[in-house]
Amino acid sequence: MKSNSAPGLAGLIGETRMFGEVTAFVLRGLLRRALPNMRRHGQRGVLLIPGFGAGDLTLSPLADRLHELGYRIFFSGIWCNVDCPVHMLMWLEKVLRKASRKTHGKIVIIGHSLGGIYARELACRFPDLVERAILLGSPVKAPLEGSNTFLRPLFEWAHRRCPGRLAAAFAPEVEMSQRAPRVPETLIYSKTDGIVQWQNCVETGAHVEAIEVESSHCGLPFDPRAFEVIVDRLARHAERSRLVTANSAVPSHRRFHRVRTSLAAIKRSRQVVA
């Protein structure tokens, strides 16, 4: 899908509000202003992937807040996200597999902007390793067409060494998946995004949800509403995992005995009623 009009100079100027958004997010963390329903959910694995031109350091405030809640955070190992997607996906696959081995389970991937595109692709390729993908302002549709016109030359220059140059960024060598992943995917976007066209950040699918927040593009990882959604989805993952673990811990013959006992109780109640 092509955008009708990509963000321009006004959008870039509007992105300066991200400094206030980051400051507010950090202060909330320092003051421990947690949501009422926040609880520690154990060492669940979360992999964070930064956006274009950014590194792991930019997601440190988000990582700190999630770590305080008990989640085990894994960084991508990216200092500056400008490498060719062909190489980047190979690297991120290794990081994902390592995180899965360390946690003995599936990983929730949170990606910002370009990092979200990578998160989505990892979820498509490795559903056995990914529990859920959470994308923050990621143009999953026509990423180049929907990006800010003033930033496209920078993106092209950064990927000048890619095979096929700019075209290699999101096809055909990378072969990005056309369909949404088979695992749950949460798309968080803002209609005031000054970097990418918000319509390009939304897709449909059986396991896809799109949630709008009011934020700048760069400030999405620090938006209160976005953080609330992230924590809620992580909590759902933790609760589901706990139920599966508890059920698997009960021997099969005991589970069968419980079923027979329940059926017998139902039969007795029917006889009484009759």
Condensed to tens digits (0 to 9), the pLDDT of residues 187-202 reads 999 999 988 999 999 9
- Alpha-carbon radius of gyration of the chain: 22
Which of helix, strand or coil describes residue 85?
A: helix
Note the pLDDT of residue 123.
97
Report field, pTM of the whole predicted structure over 0.85: no
Torsion of CA 152, 93, 74, 141, to 10 degrees: 40
The confidence score (pLDDT) of residue 255 equals 44
For 149-189, the pLDDT digits (tens) are 777 777 777 766 665 544 444 544 456 788 999 999 999 99
For residues 64-80, average pLDDT:
94
Pair type for strands 72-75 and 45-49: parallel
What six digits make up the tokens of 155? 């993106």
- Which band of pLDDT confidence, cut at 50, 70 and 90, is reported for residue 3? very low
- What pLDDT, on the 0 to 100 scale, is given for residue 79? 94
Q: What number is the average pLDDT over the span 247-253?
A: 48
Q: Is 112 exposed, middle or buried (0-12, 13-18, 19+ CB in 10 A)?
A: buried
For residue 186, list its beta bridge partners: 134, 209
**66 — pLDDT class (breaks 50, 70, 90):** very high
- pLDDT average, residue stretch 29-45: 58
32 vs 221: CA distance, rounded Å: 17
Q: What is the mean pLDDT of the chain?
A: 79
Q: pLDDT at residue 262 above 70? A: no
Q: Kindly indicate the confidence band of residue 101, based on its pLDDT and cuts at 50, 70 and 90.
A: very high
Query: Is residue 62 scored above 80 in pLDDT?
Result: yes
Q: Which residues, 6 or more positions from 204, have their beta carbon under 8 angstroms from its beta carbon?
A: 180
pLDDT at 246 over 60: no
Task: For 113-127, write each residue's pLDDT tens digit.
Answer: 999 999 999 999 999
- pLDDT bucket at 145, cuts 50 / 70 / 90: confident
What pLDDT, in 10s, does the model give residues 210-220?
A: 999 999 999 99
Mean pLDDT computed over 8-33: 64
